[in-house]
Structure 1
Amino acid sequence: MNDVGDDAEATARLGVLRIEHRDLDAAIAALADGGGSDQLQLMRLKKRKLRLRDEIAALEDDMIPDIIA
């Protein structure tokens, strides 16, 4: 029963992270298209997006069961 709850939490967390990643992508594009973009802010957003991508990948890896062939 606990595994099901953990899976549901992981799936919910994964959805939130994917939405945040997509939102950051839009924010980065908007900032870059703004002309006089703030390079420091752009770098921070890109770093945050990379951290989110890594966290998403780690969650996805945890959700896939290890199969020993």
Structure 2
Amino acid sequence: MVQKWDYKTVNPSESYAGVEVLSNDPESALNQLGDEGWELVETVEENIGKSKYLVFKRPRSEDIALD
């Protein structure tokens, strides 16, 4: 069986679940994501617009078997 993943990207200058991700205390938004099963795996920064994205992953509920 091969583990499949779901991915989510979050722009920290915006909000997630009604909480500013880069507020003075980002723990609330990060805990919300953790409660939903998301794990932070990478930060991606674009030099052009100086945008930064947080990349999260979590296991899909279904595994598939290789034939």
Give the TM-score, by structure 2 length. 0.32
Highest CA radius of gyration, 1 or 2? Answer: 1
